A = this chain, B = another copy of it.
Amino acid sequence: MALKRSSTAVQVKELLLERILDGTYKPGERLIELQIAEELQTSQAPVREALRYLEAMRLVETEPYKGTRVRVVTERELEESSQVRSVLEQLACELAAPKLKGNCAELQAEADKFMNAARKKDFATYSLHDTAFHRLIMQAADNQLLLSIWESVVLESRFLRILAKIGGENLVEFGDAHLVVLEALEKGDGKTASKSMRNLICKFHGLKI
């Protein structure tokens, strides 16, 4: 029963992470150590450690004596992360295909949910299940490093911004493209799945490759 407690620093990290992702802290906003420490009834040291984690995750930037800010992700960086994501997911499809052959019930369930949301133009729900769909594939690939890099890249390319770019009109089309991947995986055809996945990410994220 490895229920491990976690240090204050880790808890602070989790909280700050959540707040950065849900937009409580906006891009560019300063994170003031003593303010956070006081709010969370702790001291400066654990907060600083938490910020070092987030810095390594590229979610915040720190300059000596100037403090820490939520990183502003530029359009260019968003493109960069989509490029990287496309090959990470391509690899995941190849690796996951054998395991998912004839075993795609969970994937199908998520696909149903995001297709439903797509028809209703419900971005939030769409995003939730789309991400879950992709994460299932990443997990099935059974490569810890791949998964952990993917998680951090997905954080970087805040999904909602990508969806905004795709636009409500194309949401169904975008969802449909996922079904091709799903079919290929169901058949265990990693080659097709990985190609389709890469195309889907590149196409809808506006990459030319």
Contact = CB atoms under 8 A, between A and B. Distances in A.
Nearest to A79: B143
A83 B63 contact: no
A188 to B, nearest CB: 14
Nearest to A157: B145
A: contact size bracket: 35 or more
Interface in A21-41: none
A186 interface: no
Given A48-B49, A56-B52, A56-B56, A81 B145 contact: yes
Interface string A49-81: 100110111100001100000000000010011
B6 A80 contact: no
A64 B5 contact: yes
A87 B91 contact: yes
A146 B95 CA distance: 21
A137 B87 CA distance: 17
B84 A149 contact: yes
A6 B91 CA distance: 37
Question: Closest 9 CB pairs between A and B?
Answer: A56-B56, A52-B52, A87-B87, A87-B91, A80-B143, A80-B145, A49-B52, A7-B64, A84-B146
